[in-house]
Amino acid sequence: MGKSPGYHPAPGNFLVFTDIMTDQIEMAELHGQPVLKLQTPDGAVALISLFGAQLLSWTPAGGEDRLYLSPQAVFDGQTAIRGGVPVCFPQFASEGPLPKHGFARNQPWEAVNTRAGKDYAVATLRLTDTPASQALWPHPFAAELSIGIGGGRLDMELEVANTGPSSFAFTAALHTYLKVREVEALRIEGLRGLDYRDATRSDAVHKDTGVSLEIDDEVDRVYYGAPKGLLVREDHRALGIHQENFPDLVVWNPWEQKCAQLPDMPTDGFRRMLCIEAAAVRQPIELAPGADWWGRQTLVAL
């Protein structure tokens, strides 16, 4: 996972380790739920919920938390957690017969591997099919999410393997909630010239012609042929976003009216967050028996 010094797992390798704790990686609790805490000697910290393999917090070395976690998020081990980076699999949003965003974010994952060094820490969590998942989606599979931190960098890599006798197709996303000071004051650079489907305008397809995208109303877009690099600029800081092998990019903010309808968000929460999600939406990923796929998203605090 990733290109950062110290960790280079190969996509598609699913290995199980029983002794995963190190002095830089420990079990902890957040709101009564078990989390993995990753930390590096330079001060980078991440919290990962075992429920959904959901990254809840990422603080770069010498910085502040760059992920939004709703203060009204529910931590009951059953309800999807609002914020951080939910894993959408094997379905994105409501584009299919499954529950919204699939079932991976509502299941307990197993921590199967951790590694740490002087400038990094990485953990891998695993989910496989169960009778409950088979009832919803009748396919044997293995999914792994690897999360690595170090300095000002965060790497997330989702891997999916088809462990059954027949082919299947899926859509997926890393539903990344960025924490921002004021959403109306930021701009996103790198989307110009791309086609996007706009859910706020009857899913019509448009071309982005602006130098940058600014958020001043509800936005719900799937960009096709997403660029490898984006820059989110705020007055006091910036965030670089890179994705690999995820063909699409989602930009979402519910804005005032829809945010007020979400029971696990404060009414002004839309001002403090922006979702920029590495995704595979337009064309489902198809896996033959024994095949695997991986997709990666990297955030760099600037």
CATH of the domain at 253: 2.70.98.10
CA-CA distances (angstroms) from residue 193 to 186, 204, 224, 228, 274?
Answer: 20, 16, 10, 14, 21
In a domain, 225, yes or no: yes
In a domain, 8, yes or no: no
In a domain, 67, yes or no: yes
Q: What is the pLDDT of residue 16?
A: 32
Q: What is the pLDDT of residue 29?
A: 93
Segments of the chain with pLDDT less than 70: 1-22
Q: What is the pLDDT of residue 194?
A: 96
29-73 residue pLDDT tens = 999 999 999 999 999 999 999 999 999 999 999 999 999 999 999
In a domain, 271, yes or no: yes
Q: What is the pLDDT of residue 23?
A: 79
- Annotated active-site residue 175? The verdict is yes
In a domain, 18, yes or no: no
**This model's pTM is above 0.95:** no
Q: What is the pLDDT of residue 123?
A: 97
Token readout for 285 is: 């990923």
Q: What is the pLDDT of residue 4?
A: 35
What's the domain range around 173?
Answer: 25-301
Active-site residue (options: 175, 189, 256, 286) = 175
Q: What is the pLDDT of residue 20?
A: 55
- Annotated active-site residue 8? The verdict is no
End-to-end CA distance of the chain: 21
In a domain, 7, yes or no: no
Kindly tell me the number of DSSP H helices and DSSP E strands found in the chain: 2, 21
Looking at the structure of the chain, the number of domains it has is 1
Sign, CA dihedral 114-248-293-126, equals: positive
**Average pLDDT, whole number, for the chain?**
92
In a domain, 10, yes or no: no
For residue 255, what is the enclosing H or E element? helix 255-260
Active-site residue (options: 64, 244, 277, 286) = 277
CA-CA distances (angstroms) from residue 134 to 81, 141, 275?
Answer: 23, 10, 30
In a domain, 192, yes or no: yes
Q: What is the pLDDT of residue 18?
A: 35
